[in-house]
């Protein structure tokens, strides 16, 4: 059985796993100098940027996954998400029983 390598490569590139291994994320200078944020907030923002790859409007990683990838505890993730939202670096759309949507902003 022959594999269509071009089709496979295209499918593979549309995954977070691919971009975690091969891609990179640039952060806006403003977030680095925002005195209202902690270093953990920057890590959480970075993880959200990784998940909002290739022009997507939002991402939907779980708080547990954000915690694992940013290497901070879940409570810190929750606090960081609140600070990022208050500072207008992200918008969060959440509904009871649904996955939260994170809209990462570049200001």
Domains and CATH numbers, the chain: 25-104 (1.10.10.10)
Are the beta carbons of 58 and 64 closer than 8 angstroms?
no
pLDDT in tens, the chain (107 residues): 555 555 555 556 556 666 666 777 888 999 999 999 999 999 999 999 988 876 789 999 999 999 999 999 999 999 999 999 999 999 999 988 889 999 999 87
Look at residue 76 in the predicted model and tell me its pLDDT: 98
CB atoms within 10 A of CB 85: 15
Long-range contacts of 41-48 (CB under 8 A, 24+ apart): 41/80, 41/83, 41/84, 43/70, 43/71, 43/72, 43/80, 44/70, 44/72, 44/77, 44/80, 44/81, 44/84, 45/80, 45/84, 45/89, 45/90, 45/104, 46/70, 48/90, 48/102, 48/104
Closest CA to 81 of 63, 65, 64, 95: 63
Look at residue 24 in the predicted model and tell me its pLDDT: 78
State pTM to two decimals: 0.80
């Amino acid at each position: 059985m022959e594999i269509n390598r071009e089709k496979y490569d295209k499918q593979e590139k549309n995954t977070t796993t691919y971009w975690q291994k091969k891609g990179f994320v640039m952060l806006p200078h403003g977030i680095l100098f925002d005195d209202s944020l902690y270093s953990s907030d920057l890590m959480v923002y970075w993880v959200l940027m990784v998940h909002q790859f290739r022009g997507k409007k939002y991402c939907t990683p779980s708080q547990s996954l954000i915690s694992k990838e940013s290497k901070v505890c879940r409570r810190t993730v929750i606090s960081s998400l609140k600070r990022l939202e208050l500072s207008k670096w992200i918008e969060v759309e959440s509904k009871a029983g649904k996955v939260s949507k994170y809209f990462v902003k570049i200001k």
